[in-house]
Structure 1
Amino acid sequence: MACAAVNVDALRIALIASSRHPIRQPFPGGLESHVWHLARSLCADGHRVSLFAGPGSDPGLGCAQLTVETLETSAAARQDVSMPPMDFLRDHHAYLRLMLDLAGPLADSSDVVHNHSLHYLPVAMAPAVPTPVLSTLHTPPTPWLESALAVRAGTDAHFVAVSKHTAAAWSHAIDRIDVVPNGVDVDRWPQGDGGPHLIWFGRLVAEKGAHVAIAAARRAGFAIRLAGPISDPGYFESTIAPLLGPGVTYLGHLAQPELATAIGGSAAAVITPLWDEPYGLVVAEALACGTPVAAFARGGIPEVLSADCGRLVVPDDVDALARVIPQVVALPRRVAREHARSHCSERRMVDAYVNIYRRLAANRVRADGDRKVAS
């Protein structure tokens, strides 16, 4: 499917995402949301984008779809004592096929490959691909990715981190890391008028701390609404479900327009990660809706939030969070919106990535020319 816009300076960009999750709404997580917005903006700018992601991705993005090859093992193989979990094997097979294709029959199909997956093979096999491979670091260091980096030591590698915090976390393993903060399309997150209640939104897993947000809201005397996918059913049933009732409402897993309406209709957002968030996309989304934020100062969140549109407190301190909620509710919504527009916009993010794409593509052309002269 071709992009609608025409751009004489268009780049051919291959985006690699999860082989399991389609890039469509409602998003299972922030990574899928990030890739959806990036792909949509690149296509709107006239670039030719190919997307590797779970089957069923949004056809309205205007991307060509790279095949996710599935694997069906034989009964004999499944009985082998070395047989890994099937999900692991399917991911391995899908990324192995993709990287071999990018090194072979698809070698000249892109000017740059942009890897957003959390899998080790796109990093480990990047040197085999003649096209520059840029990998965005969306997470703290993982053993699988560190292993991939170790086997390709000394090769020309290209990495971007979503925050200075994340870049610092990877600095022991990677010499050069550009920083491109995630961005949101502020037009898709319109400013709302607020409301009497608070909101928490994100994946419902223990490390995101929805139960902590509920505790802080109750101590501050506010009702709170929750929104997001139930990614850990055990956590939801054991910890969140018993807390639902008067003053605590679960809205479900909302598509982006409905989520934006819910955020914009809230007095403040309460962001309670119990781990170091690499960026804090939910903070940027809340601010774009004009909704000020009370949050734990963890990971990349302090790089997104400022005192004119929110408050940061010591991580895990529920009492401190409860104390600042009335202050946050009183902050002007237009200031939060303007902060998102000037510091967290999707336009800034896309332009930064395109500048990196062009630099990598130009370096490849020069390198190819040098090799031809030398031969």
Structure 2
Amino acid sequence: MKVAILDHPSRYPFPPHGYGAQEKWFWSVAAGARAAGAEVVLTGPDWRPDLPYGFRRLPFRLEDATPGQLRAFAAERFDLLVTGHEYTSHPVWRPRADDLGVDVAAFQHRPDFTHAPGAYDDRLRRLYVFSHEMRALYAGSKPRLTNAVFFADSEEETSHTEHGDGTLAWCSRLDGKKAPHIVAMAAARLRRTVKLIGPVADPGYMRRHARHFDSPHVRLVGELGGQEKLAELRASDCMVYSCSRDWIEAGGAFFSDPQRNGVPCAAQVWRPGTSAEAALDEETGALAVLDPGQSDEDAADALADAVLKASALDRAGVREAGLRRFDPVRHFQDLATR
């Protein structure tokens, strides 16, 4: 099988060094395809001169291609195009891909994107999602469930430590949708330090919850990627997930790195069917499902209990289960199957 990984406009380079959920997904698919025996070609700008595995690159995007580049693309005779969820609705990209007559597979990375009518047909153009919640949200596109995998080229090698250092880790952007103040409250209840890893996306939110973020139990780490981030995760007792009542987590990027490196996860959500539920089981963590009518204080209490349960798990067992769940070869095979 011959596979094209179609890069998309972004502020992060591709292959990624450690940032960007979509870029990490593309890279994990490329790595999984290669491991499965497929020939892989990357398309898009020459972000980096040091392409791992000796991958070839077509240095243009399909929607921007000249007539000569389109002929070169067609001459490759790809069996599968792996692309961003938005491209099947792109007015230039879609007819060009249709003319090629090639299978297209995409993963839904956002919960708020509206597809054009007929963007997916569950045969030649297939959409994949991570959770039952996302499958219901995009039911009109007939999406398929898959355990999507997320890692950068610097994060493929996994390992685990026998014990953590007593700290907790949380990794995302700091804003109201991700609700890290609930994690800060849970950490205070447990009298344990939580490392908040990620950029401040909403300074106003941080000011409103300053009493939680100024706690001695909170350490604002900033944005990390690659081995720097993995080192912080591996050192922690537990990875902790939080969200607001109306936030829909589209993928499983939050859970992929820790589980693949033996770090158990504790999650707090407000309804069943979420990505956290899809990512966790009794081997890898603990999940607290609350009613939206309950308070943030209730959420912090439930999350603290989940942390205690998750932290007691065997880390070697977490890694073994995480590598099974977030397996790039199996994920690629999902994408490649009609």
TM-score interval, normalised by the smaller of the two chains: 0.7 to 0.9
Aligned to 2:55: 63
Higher relative contact order (CA 8 A, sep 6+): 2
- The CA deviation at 1:29 is 2.4
Deviates more, 1:12-21 or 1:238-247: 238-247
| Distance in 2 of aligned mates of 1:160 and 1:210 | 28
- The CA deviation at 1:194 is 0.9
Aligned to 1:134, which of 79, 102, 105? 105
- Give yes or no for contact 2:81–2:104 (8 Å, CA) kept in 1: yes
Aligned to 1:114, which of 67, 73, 82? 82
The aligned amino acid for 1:306 is: D
Deviates more, 1:42-51 or 1:269-278: 42-51
Aligned to 1:201: 171
Q: Give per-residue Cα distances to partners, 1:252-305, cap 9 Å, x unaligned.
A: 332322222211111111111331212322223222222221102362221110
- The CA deviation at 1:199 is 0.5
- Give yes or no for contact 1:38–1:350 (8 Å, CA) kept in 2: yes
| Distance in 1 of aligned mates of 2:31 and 2:157 | 12
| Distance in 2 of aligned mates of 1:35 and 1:151 | 20
| Distance in 2 of aligned mates of 1:281 and 1:259 | 13
Question: Percent identical across equivalent pairs?
Answer: 21
| Distance in 2 of aligned mates of 1:187 and 1:24 | 12
- Give yes or no for contact 1:124–1:152 (8 Å, CA) kept in 2: no
| Distance in 1 of aligned mates of 2:28 and 2:165 | 28
TM-score of the aligned structures, taking structure 2 as reference length: 0.79
For the residue of structure 1 that corresponds to 2:158, the secondary structure is: coil
CA 1:220–1:112: 2 relative to 1, 3 Å: same
Aligned to 1:47, which of 28, 32, 38? 38
Aligned to 2:253, which of 275, 278, 281? 281
CA 1:321–1:251: 2 relative to 1, 3 Å: same
Aligned to 2:8, which of 10, 18, 24? 18
- The CA deviation at 1:225 is 0.7
| Distance in 2 of aligned mates of 1:263 and 1:99 | 45
- The CA deviation at 1:187 is 6.2
Consecutive unaligned residues of structure 1, counting only runs of 5 or more, are 1-10, 69-93, 360-375
| Distance in 1 of aligned mates of 2:326 and 2:250 | 15
1:338 counterpart = 2:304: no
Aligned to 2:64: 97
- The CA deviation at 1:13 is 1.3
1:291 counterpart = 2:241: no
- Give yes or no for contact 2:42–2:55 (8 Å, CA) kept in 1: yes
- Give yes or no for contact 1:101–1:107 (8 Å, CA) kept in 2: no
Consecutive unaligned residues of structure 2, counting only runs of 5 or more, are 291-295
| Distance in 1 of aligned mates of 2:122 and 2:280 | 37
The aligned amino acid for 1:22 is: P
The aligned amino acid for 2:233 is: I
Aligned to 1:38: 29
1:323 counterpart = 2:305: yes
CA 1:180–1:102: 2 relative to 1, 3 Å: farther
CA 1:224–1:97: 2 relative to 1, 3 Å: same
CA 1:127–1:184: 2 relative to 1, 3 Å: closer
| Distance in 1 of aligned mates of 2:228 and 2:21 | 16
Aligned to 2:158: 189
